[in-house]
A = this chain, B = another copy of it.
Amino acid sequence: MARWQPNAPERLAVAALELFEERGYENTTVIEIAERAGLTKSTFFRHFQDKREVLFGGDTMAGLLAEGIAAAPATAKPFEAVAHALDTVGREAFHPARRALSARRRAVIAANPELREREALKGLGLTASMTDALERRGVPELTSCVAAELGALALKIAYERWSDATDATDGDDFGDVARRALRDVRASSTLC
Contact = CB atoms under 8 A, between A and B. Distances in A.
Contacts of A192: 77-79, 143, 146-147, 150, 186
A79 B79 CA distance: 21
Given A118-B117, A120-B124, A121-B117, A149 B153 contact: yes
Contacts of A51: none
Given A142-B184, A184-B142, A189 B150 contact: yes
Stoichiometry (number of copies): 2
A142 B188 contact: yes
A39 interface: no
Contact of A123 (B120, B146, B150, B153): B120
The 10 closest A-B pairs by CB, nearest first: A120-B120, A117-B121, A146-B188, A143-B188, A79-B192, A78-B192, A142-B188, A147-B192, A120-B121, A120-B124
